[in-house]
Structure 1
Amino acid sequence: MKIIEFTYHLKDIDKIAVNVLSHLNTKTVLFNGDMGAGKTTFINALLKAMKSEDIATSPTFSIVNEYNLPGDKVYHFDFYRIESIEEAYNFGIEDYLTSEHWLFMEWSKRIEELIPSVNQTITISDLQDNKRSLKLTLNTNI
């Protein structure tokens, strides 16, 4: 596993998203970071880089949001409120996991045993003054 790190100002987020997108080699992407670090904001920039006309909003209460891409979809999950694997099964997580569409997952540790083994992780840290650190794991086994 290899990690690429980016440090950026929020005004440059669209350029960083295009760069990160060029390094994604799987459709399952886990987003880590503290509350308010900018995970959904970065997902929004990724959607733009993927030519989506949709705007990402936090699916904290809906658990999953669906966004359209040209010829594909993104399922954006926020598992913050999930308290058990049974809750994930209750909303049909297995249908999403086998869909062959993009899976963007926030707070994925709450359903860790269900996450596809082939995935990449984006970890975002708030550096203050509208600056962020982003670490992207690269899967070298794909």
Structure 2
Amino acid sequence: MLNTREYHINDLEVVAKQILETATSKTILFYGDMGAGKTTLIKALVKLLGCKDDVSSPTFSIVNEYSINEGLVYHFDFYRLKDEEEAYNFGIEDYLDSKEWIFIEWPDQVKNILSNEPCNRLKIESLDTETRKITFNKN
């Protein structure tokens, strides 16, 4: 069971596998400071789900879509989102209703939209250049 764990970056794939095995929702919210490793962890998750594409942060595009073995992954980065209305304008509700994997960085930017969504919350903290601490809450 994964709840709180420290890990070395060399163990990233093992941690990603544990997250996928224990997730109770296909929507995971990623919390953490800039540079904590949210996108790096999402890259590992998407790869484990079978994606062959290069995974990158959708900071400027807001959402990236990746084909995986069984469906799609939608990777959101809401850091530059002006307000929740902007999320409604590009159809966030359709993504949330899709039954696909959804990984959201900076979810506080749309917290009212997500308040009733079943999701898991993952907080990542940088302890040093090669060690992270994650807290994974299952709803």
Same fold (TM over 0.5): yes
Mind listing any 5+ residue stretches in structure 2 that lack a counterpart? none
For 1:48, the equivalent position in structure 2 comes to: 47
Distance in 2, matches of 1:54 and 1:14, equals 17
Question: For residues 95-115 of structure 1, what are the alpha-carbon distances to aligned partners after superposition, in whole Å with 9 as ceiling and x for unaligned?
Answer: 111111111001111111111
1:135 Cα shift? 0.7
| 1:137 counterpart residue number | 137
Question: 2:63 and 2:14 mapped to 1: Cα distance?
Answer: 26
2: CA distance, partners of 1:118 / 1:85: 18
TM-score by length of 1: 0.91
SS of 1:136's equivalent? Answer: strand
Q: Which runs of 4+ in 1 moved over 2 A?
A: none
8 Å CA contact retained: 2:51, 2:66: yes
Q: Distance in 2 between matches of 1:119 and 1:3?
A: 15
Equivalence for 2:59: 60
CA distance in 1, matches of 2:56, 2:129: 23
- Match of 1:61, SS state, is coil
Unaligned runs of 5+ in 1: none
Q: Which deviates further from its counterpart, 52-61 or 25-34?
A: 52-61
Matching of residue 10 in structure 1 with residue 9 in structure 2: yes
2:124 is matched with which residue?
A: 124
Q: Percent identity?
A: 45
* SS class of match (1:30): strand
Separation in structure 2 between the aligned mates of residue 79 and residue 101 of structure 1, nearest angstrom: 18
Q: TM-score, normalised by structure 2?
A: 0.93
Asked if 2 retains the 8 angstrom alpha-carbon contact of 1:13 and 1:42, the reply is yes
Distance in 1, matches of 2:54 and 2:89, equals 26
Q: CA RMSD in A?
A: 1.5
For the residues of structure 1 that align with 2:137 and 2:2, how far apart are their CA atoms? 4
- Cα separation, 2, equivalents of 1:134 and 1:98: 27
1:10-42, CA deviations, whole angstroms, 9 ceiling, x for partnerless residues? 011011111111101111100000000000000
Q: Distance in 2 between matches of 1:19 and 1:98?
A: 25
Aligned length: 138
Residue 55 of structure 1, CA deviation? 2.6
Partner residue, 2:72 = 73
